[in-house]
Chain A
Amino acid sequence: MTAPRSETLAKLTPVLTKRWLSPDAWRIGTYEKLDGYAALRKAVKAHPDDLIQLIKDSGLRGRGGAGFPTGLKWGFIPQGDGRPHYLVVNADEGEPGTCKDLPLMTHDPHSLVEGVIIASYAIRANRAYIYIRGEAVHAARRLRNAVREAYAKGYLGKNILGSRFDLDLVVHSGAGAYICGEETALLDSLEGFRGQPRLRPPFPATHGLYASPTVVNNVGTIASVPYIVLGGAEWWKTMGTEKSSGPMIYSLSGRIAHPGQYECSMGITLRELIELAGGMQPGHNLRFWTPGGSSTPLLTAEHLDVPLDFEGVAAAGSILGTTATQIFSDQDCPVYATYRWLEFYHHESCGKCTPCREGNYWMVRVYRRILAGQGTHEDLDTLLDTCDNILGRSFCGLGDGATSSVTSSLRYFKQDYLDYIEGRTAPRLSDKQLVGAH
């Protein structure tokens, strides 16, 4: 195994992850020694509008998958409207492949808390919530501890640092529903309902939590804010590309020598990431990969040099998503992988809209049939037809995302499907698994 070349190493940009190396960074004392809460002190001396402008200037885009410009989102909050404003952090990390927010909240929870306070000050919110995935118990432990410490030090509560700005922050644990990562479903869940997406418009910016102006941002987005406040927009833009600025935490998993978190300048390629990760595992050759979680269309070895920023991945026919790079080799079956993802979407579909609820249910059954060696050529048409009826016709992005791996695997790996159907590949599922269950 050869060491990464120096030009590849130069793409590493440890910013958000940097404190993870300090084992006690989750304690407020250590955090403060490492520039902690310096950004907040600076921010509360500035006018909130200037902070919104700063974030606009930085070009920061949402780290939760959609890549919406953060400053623009903040600017949408109507000011002087006499209504309460809310900041809600989407910490419901659950997209298959995605594992960047949990380590951040576990090992550097104060950076998120500090970002929350600055963002709330900018949008004039006096209440903020961190909606954290229920299963993320250790991250929640550290986060609750951080919030308690921040209150004790006067960073939360009344008249923060003498600024006459008040903020209350609640860490709210979910209860096991992937759909709550969709921002309007998250808001419904936070209001104590089933987590089902809302019709939009109106958008959360005007009618969000409790029908009040609300900003919903991902963990990585909010945790970026203190660094931009400290280092400035120009410094932030020294990383990444023109339209996708800043560092990004790429989460590499699968058939590589060293899976893990690699915070790099946006626009790095998979070839370079694999180089950083020590190459493929011995005996494995790259066959397919997801650029940003299971809701993003699969890419192949042909796409090793696609720049992994919002524009580059879109041009290659996929989506940057959450930069959850799951890497599969020639020993992995794209049909089986897609089947497992579909089981997930079927399980997690909230049931509100017919295309997603029914479409995923039936597609899972078609996949089981194919994998049990009982598929037909018509099944492939049925799959594409079903995807056609889900994509763009579902209530929210969950349904759209479910079709990604189906259509892309059929596009690149149709032969694998035919091999099951025409009996060249041994069945992967038994007849027993065709009956109900699961």
Chain B
Amino acid sequence: MTTTFTEETRARAREIIARYPADRSRSALLPLLHLVQSEEGYVSPAGVEFCAEVLGLNKAQVGAVATFYTMYKRRPTGDYLVSVCTNTMCNVLGGQGVYDTLAEHLGVGHDETTADGKITLEHAECLAACDYGPVMTVNYDFFDGVDPQTALGVVDELRAGGRPMPTRGARLCTLKEMAVQLAGFADEREGAVADGGPGEPTLRGLRLAEQHGISVPGFDPNTPIRSKAEADRAAAEAKAKAEAAKPAPVDTTPPAPRDARAAQAAGVAANPPAGDRKPAGDEAGAQQRNLSEAEAGAGATGAGSAVASETGVQK
């Protein structure tokens, strides 16, 4: 099988695969897809084949992954990917106007490339810079607080061969060069890592604190780390103290006889939920419940045993 990929790319592929445990090379698939994009500007059928070959997968397995993620492009892209945030916050602050202006000016729509092969335009979902909105990125580096005029200035400069400096982030490179970084390789350009200091919104809270001389008191970096035994003892003491201080246990649950509650607890313990119950998303309680089993097995202390000891005290 022959692909267009260079020996340099193959060497990089080996380096990527070596980052992951030997029997888990599939973890290298996302960086490898970025890597083939760095050579071709998109994930071509040849790129899919390359990834499949180096990982011992079939093309369908690779294709299924490549088509799932937005950053893997399925058609050739321009040198510069201009992404305008049109999610709610940037949108109401003017991002939609920026996008519409650029689309009209460049004569392309979402995920389309100008005829000169310079610019691919896309509207993006939240770019995690809402305090700088409306924002756009060029090859994922930020241009903050843009309006239609500044955005037009940026794309015109790009098309004229210039490289405007992002507001935050490093000096621009091409999208293919960026894909090398996305594949997990360092940005070797002199000074690029140092580029892009924090903007005022990032520092706003800090500046206020600084101006008014506010810091968090009581910070002693030499505070000792207590041993677990010590901590357990202190917790037990504190609990006993709290119990003693309480005149009588305040039971807020209306007439729930102690024995009924004990019986209920015994019943719950004797009837663990079925294994095929519905997952409860990120609901903390469910995770705690379901994992108390594993924890009990490991002999650690946690929610489960804490509840048990509390019941013991009440009895």
Hey, which bits of chain A sit against chain B, CB under 8 A? 4, 6, 9-10, 12-15, 17-18, 20-21, 23, 26, 35, 38-39, 42-43, 46-47, 49-54, 57, 65-69, 72, 75-81, 84, 93-99, 101-103, 106-107, 127, 133-138, 140-142, 144-145, 148, 170-178, 182-183, 189-195, 199-201, 203, 205-206, 210, 229-232, 234-235, 238-239, 247, 250-254, 258-264, 276-277, 294, 324, 326, 328, 332, 336-337, 340-341, 344, 347-348, 350, 394-397, 400, 438
Contact = CB atoms under 8 A, between A and B. Distances in A.
B301 interface: yes
Interface string B82-116: 01001111011100000000000000001000000
A178 B204 CA distance: 28
Interface string B275-305: 1000111101001101100110110111100
Contact of A141 (B131, B181, B209, B300): B181
B5 to A, nearest CB: 19
Given A20-B198, A195-B69, 13 more contacts: A13-B216, A21-B210, A51-B225, A134-B34, A134-B69, A200-B287, A205-B291, A235-B223, A239-B216, A254-B130, A260-B200, A340-B87, A400-B281
A47 B227 contact: yes
Contact of A42 (B31, B170, B219, B225): B225
Contacts of B200: 260
A348 B125 contact: yes
* Residue with the greatest number of chain A CB neighbours at <10 A, chosen from B29, B228, B295: B228
Contacts of B197: 23
B257 interface: no
Contact of B205 (A192, A276, A336): A276
Contacts of A172: 27, 30-31, 184
B202 A177 contact: no
Contact of B212 (A9, A79, A80): A9
B206 A21 contact: yes
B45 interface: no
A194 B125 contact: no
A170 B27 CA distance: 11
B208 A276 contact: yes
B216 A14 contact: yes
A178 to B, nearest CB: 7
Given A14-B214, A49-B228, A106-B196, A173 B34 contact: yes
Interface stretch (B16-24, B245-253, B258-266, B307-315): B16-24
A165 to B, nearest CB: 16
A127 B21 contact: yes
Nearest to B279: A200
Nearest to A259: B131
Interface stretch (B6-14, B147-155, B157-165, B185-193): B185-193
A225 B106 CA distance: 48
A66 B210 CA distance: 31
B125 A195 contact: no
B292 to A, nearest CB: 9
A9 B214 contact: yes
Given A14-B215, A96-B89, A247-B216, A144 B205 contact: no
